[in-house]
Structures are given as structure tokens and as C-alpha cells.
Copies of this chain bind each other. A is one copy, B any other.
Amino acid sequence: MNIQQLVDRGLKIKTYTKDSVIYEPGTQPRYVYFIKTGEVRMVTVSDEGKEFIQGVFKAGQHFGEPALLINRPYLAFTITNKDTQLIAVNKEDFFSLIKNEPDFSMNLIQTLSQRLFYKSMMLEELANEKADHRLLTIINYLLHDITEGENLKVTRQELADMTGLRVETVIRGVKMLAGKGLIKTVKGKIVKR
């Protein structure tokens, strides 16, 4: 099931401007959201206002399934990183997609597996490893998605919010890793080689 097919079925496209909140923790899930264009981040926020990035979702992907499927209030905020167009698919329709479209079902299982894999990896890091190790792991993970010579389009703040560290610690850590030759940086940007 892709976006076009959903549109063909007559589902409405909703437009959100950058930094709009799509849903908040504590609220009851009613939809699964398919992204037509744009990008969203899923973040949990501590009492002191510190953000942790649970995931980032781009055009063609969907988010918000787990809470809907197990019927639990959301844990996280979902916020647009750019102007974004979404299609909200209600519970009934989403369940019928799973039941009636074997490909969609298989695909969803693999998507959930990928996310579990990432979260397991990060849990090990946050539970057991110190700053430099965490940083190297997330950086290598992110480098997978880009091609040689390109650089990572993430700020130190974002790395901090993915690793549970503070910006200053990330800045010092990245510098250290570059010094040891474990990563390559050009003008502060982390580059794949």
C-alpha cells in the first residue's frame, strides 16, 4: 500500500507547517500517519525539557502504529521537521490493510523489526557504553545511509538528542574521535570515506 493508493481511495491529505505537533504523549491513538511529503521526528521529553529522538520518519513511511495496535496512549511527541503532508488512516482502515494486503502486512513486520533492531542497539549503548562509544556507534549507523564523500546532515545537538548526551559532550567526543582517526571531519562536518 503506497500513498497514491491511499489518495485514490479518497483519503484526505492534511498539511502541517514546520514544527507542528501531530500528537502528544498521553493522548489516545486514533490514526496511523502516512507521510506524503516532508519529515517528522518522534521525541520523548523529560521533566527538565531534555529531548530524546526516538525516530525520524520521511516521505513514504508511516508512523504511530505501535501505540494504536496495542491500544496504549502515546509515549512521545511527533513533530514536523519541515512542512509536511500527511494522510491519517483510521484504526479500522489500518487493520483492514493488514488483514487484506499480505504485502503490506509483511512489509510492516519488517519495518517494525528494523525499528526494534535500532532500539536494541541504542539500549545497549545507553545502558553500557560511555560517550565516545555511543557516538561512534550512532555515527557509523548514520553513515550507512549516505555515499562516500558526502557528509552527515545532523547537528551536534541532534547527535546529543539521539545518544542521551549533551551538546558539549558530543562536540568534545566528535573532536576526539576525529583526532584518533576513527571518523573523518571536514569543517566540523562528519564525512563518509
Q: Would A113 and B75 be within 8 Å (CB), given that A52-B124, A99-B102, A106-B99 are in contact?
A: no
Q: Given contact pairs A66-B112, A72-B117, A76-B124, enumerate 11 new A-B contacts (beta carbons under 8 Å).
A: A46-B124, A65-B113, A66-B117, A66-B120, A69-B109, A69-B110, A116-B116, A119-B120, A119-B123, A123-B123, A126-B164
Number of A residues with CB within 8 Å of any CB on chain B: 41
Q: Which residue of B lies closest to A108 (CB)?
A: B109
**Residue A22 at the chain B interface, CB threshold 8 Å:** no
Give every chain B residue within 8 A of A106 (Cβ-Cβ): 98-99, 105
30 A-B contact pairs sorted by A residue (CB < 8 Å): A44-B123, A44-B127, A45-B128, A50-B127, A54-B123, A54-B124, A66-B113, A67-B117, A69-B109, A69-B110, A70-B114, A75-B120, A76-B120, A98-B109, A99-B102, A99-B106, A102-B105, A108-B109, A109-B109, A112-B112, A112-B113, A112-B116, A116-B116, A116-B119, A119-B119, A119-B120, A126-B126, A126-B164, A127-B163, A127-B164
Contact A52 B128 (CB under 8 A): yes
